[in-house]
Amino acid sequence: MESNQPPHLYAPYKSTIFRSPTKPLIIVAENLKDLRLPAYGESAIGKFDNDLTKNARVNGEPIGERIKVFGKVMDENERPLPHVLVEIWQANSAGRYIHKAEIHDAPLDPNFLGAGRMLTDSAGNYSFYTIKPGAYPWGNHHNAWRPNHIHFSVIGHQFEHRLVTQMYFPGDPLFEFDPIFNSVPKHAQHLMIAKFSMDYTDPEFALAYEFNIVLNGKLRTIFEN
């Protein structure tokens, strides 16, 4: 079966030239894959940590299109994984991050931090309310823009259950121009794109997007190297 994962080195995505490994990778021994990862206590998760429309409110609502992003975290046999830590971070609706290295000339939103986290429930489900992120330029090449995306980090209970990835939105016109998106083999690109869900859309409140995550095995969600 052809791999779904991107190569470590993909020249059009320029940073990979500098950070891809120059020596052969060390393969983790089979008996070490079940090693347990450090546990994160549930008490560390705050009540509004999975609601980015509320977790940084200063004096009002964040600006932009409110959305719900939800899904299931699973292992290679599609068994749901309860109590794994799902963290997200993203630009605001204007395509601007709160980060000291950020230089994009777009406004910050005083009511939007752009970061959230939660533990999956007993059936492996997670759900965030947030604001749909804007596209932003990133200087990789002339007129380079990132498609709208949300960064994900998942930390499960085992060494193998660690994933960093990006979720995209269906029908984005920037897909064909983005080297990060295109570093992933064509046949696997759909695994990074959330599905719009009318069934889970909250009437009068927020459109819903479903993004399921597989942490290991052949169907593993795309890992951002």
Nearest 5°: phi and psi at 80? -65, 145
97, 126, 129, 168: the active-site residue: 97
Strands 206-210 and 66-74: parallel
- Look up 104 and say whether it is catalytic: no
96, 117, 151, 157: the active-site residue: 151
Strands 66-74 and 195-202: unpaired
Count other Cβ atoms within 10 Å, centred on residue 127. 17
Q: What is the residue type of 68?
A: K
| Helix (H) or strand (E) run with residue 153 in it | strand 149-155
Nearest 5°: phi and psi at 186? -50, -45
146, 157, 161, 220: the active-site residue: 146
d(CA 211, CA 195): 7
13, 126, 129, 136: the active-site residue: 136
- Look up 151 and say whether it is catalytic: yes
Backbone φ/ψ region at 174: left (φ over 0), alpha (ψ -120 to 50), beta:
alpha
- Look up 168 and say whether it is catalytic: no
Q: What is the residue type of 86?
A: V
- Look up 83 and say whether it is catalytic: no
96, 117, 149, 220: the active-site residue: 149
Catalytic residues: 97, 136, 146, 149, 151
